[in-house]
Structure formats: C-alpha cells, structure tokens
Amino acid sequence: MKKILRMFIFSAIALYLTSLWNIGFTVTSDPNLFFKAAILIAVAYYLVVPISKVILLPLNILTFGLVSFGIFTLFLYIMNFHLGYIQIGDWVFQGGTYFGIHLNNVIITEQGNLILSAFFISAIIKLLEFTT
C-alpha cells in the first residue's frame, strides 16, 4: 500500500513540476481531473512501461530503451488528445544568458514539447525514486 501511494505522489509531483517550468504543458486546475491524470501517469509509468519492456525486450536492447520511452510518450499523447487531462502545445523559449552562455529564442513545437514533457516527467519520477 505504501508503494502504491508513493507512486501516485511521485506522479503528481512530476506533473506539477513539469507544468511549472514548461509553458506549453498545462494540467487542468480541477483537482479531480488532476488526480485522475496523476493516477494515469502512475499506471503508465509503473505498469504499462515495465510490461512493454518485457514484451519488447529485444527492441529495447537494440534501441537502448527508446521503445519504452516511445510508449510512455504515446501514452502522454493519448492523455493529451483523447482524454483531455493535460494540454500540450507549442511554446517559445525566450532564451537568455545563463552563467555566461547565451541562449537564443527557440520555438518548441507540439510534438517536441510532447517528447520533452515525457522526458522530464520520467526524469523527475526517477529522481524522486532515487532519493527515497
């Protein structure tokens, strides 16, 4: 029971943190829909992706895990376009100078933002799992 609760909390934190920094990634403000989205992310990350890793093991080995990442990205796509729990759209990174490095403006398309969001959601969940 403790692990299930931890999975849900990690998924909710990852959704919230991703929506804070990524302007094109928005989660609904309705708490009921936010919890449903967090539950679906937890199910996808802790159930669907591991099962797909086992079933598609040869492809995962050949692509160094990109197949399972693609399945998680596909799951976010379904949540975005068919369920409506999250909205992923285009956005413009305004750029700036950070630690002496100048970054120009970058237009991130909807598909690029989908991949970027999937990467950061999974990275945040992995980081939270590592710290506990």
- pLDDT for 109 equals 93
- pLDDT for 116 equals 93
- pLDDT for 54 equals 87
- pLDDT for 114 equals 93
- pLDDT for 84 equals 82
pLDDT (mean) for 44-49: 86
- pLDDT for 49 equals 82
Q: At what angle do helices 2-21 and 110-131 cross, to 10 degrees?
A: 140
CB count in 10 Å sphere of residue 129: 12
Residues above pLDDT 70, as percent of the chain: 100
- pLDDT for 19 equals 93
Whether 114 contacts 76, CB under 8 Å: yes
- pLDDT for 118 equals 93
Where b means 16+ CB within 10 Å and e means fewer, 82-121 reads: eeebbebeebeeeeeeeeeeeeeeeebeeeebbbbbbebb
pLDDT band at 50; cut points 50, 70, 90: confident
CB count in 10 Å sphere of residue 73: 19
The CA distance from 8 to 43, in Å, is 9
